[in-house]
Amino acid sequence: MNGVLIIDKPAGLTSHDVVNRVRRILSQRSVGHLGTLDPMATGVLPIVVGNFTRLAQFYVSSEKTYEGTVRFGFCTDTYDAEGEPTTDIKQVRLSQDELEPAVAKFRGLIEQEPPPFSAKKIKGVPAYKLARKQKEVHLKPVQVEIKELEVLGVEVDRMRFRARVSSGTYVRSVAHDLGKALGCGAHLESLRRTSVAEFSIGEACTLEELMGAASKSTTREVAESAEDSNHPIKALLELFIHPRKLLSDMPSVTADEATAARIRAGRTVNLLELSRARQVKVFAGQRELIAIATRVAGTLFHAKIVLCST
């Protein structure tokens, strides 16, 4: 079973927890995810299954979109609502007019210090492990891009927002730093990811929906019924993203039988119609993604990864 699922991650589970549940539901060992979500966060968690786990390398720099709430009045050690307060709690009443100038400073390219409770490593040790032992954590600021940061509403001491950010941006740090800039402290109260790369929340299913569809099938039945539109297993297949939608910025080509065989065998092929592309998706038929090929020279391409060898 090869494909990509979009899971609407519930609060309270780590991304790894979701991967383990999908493994059990689909009875598949090879399962991964495209971008970690904190346990408190919900929303889009792309899951790659089977040989499609090899596509993860193409999503390491994916843009992400979030909606959430910042609470002002105190900081926490994790920069979110799951942490312990690190400052006294202040009574705060803010207006959108007061917030807008401060928020504007966080748009564009900024230097951001990752939270101490993060997976960033210090001499090979994840920062969160040191923070849990109450050891001092100093992480070097990194440059990130906040492409959009919109205030959706302000209610007393809370701000609802929408953000579109580059890979590596910590929205928790944005909330924490915004509180520092305003002098009142703040933390991220809630967060929902609405998109990653080309994947959106509208394409997501819950773990319960996945379990319900998978309970009607076996892996063999899925393979045998792939072309049968009336088969009940179609409900499971429809939860997977159509392969033609993957890596939407990359051009694609449908190979004839002879060309597909050469690609599967790891041999160089001539793709005249894609002479200007650096990398291409190669399909055999409408939905069988068999390889990602890289241009060698001129119109010659060689498979960078082969996703289907038969």
Residues 77 and 84: beta-carbon distance below 8 Å:
yes
Tokens of 249: 């910025």
Strands (E), the chain: 3-9, 31-33, 42-49, 64-72, 108-112, 121-122, 125-126, 142-155, 158-165, 186-196, 199-200, 252-254, 269-270, 279-284, 288-297, 300-306
| Distances, alpha carbon 280 to alpha carbons 52, 175, 253, 295, in Å | 15, 39, 7, 8
Q: Which residues partner with 292 through β-bridges?
A: 281, 305
Spell out the residues 6+ positions from residue 20 whose beta carbon is closer than 8 angstroms to its own.
none
**At which residue do the structure tokens 């309970």 appear?**
215
Marked catalytic residue, from 8, 38, 157, 177: 38
Tokens of 214: 């998978």
3-state secondary structure of 80: strand
Long-range contacts of 210-215, Cβ-Cβ distance < 8 Å, separation of 24 or more:
210/5, 210/7, 210/22, 210/25, 210/26, 210/236, 210/239, 211/25, 213/239, 214/25, 214/26
Spell out the residues 6+ positions from residue 143 whose beta carbon is closer than 8 angstroms to its own.
109, 110, 111, 112
Rounded CA-CA distance 187/113 in Å is 15
- Looking only at the bridges linking them, the beta strands covering 279-284 and 42-49 are unpaired
Identity of the residue numbered 127: A
Active site residue 77: no
Catalytic residues: 38
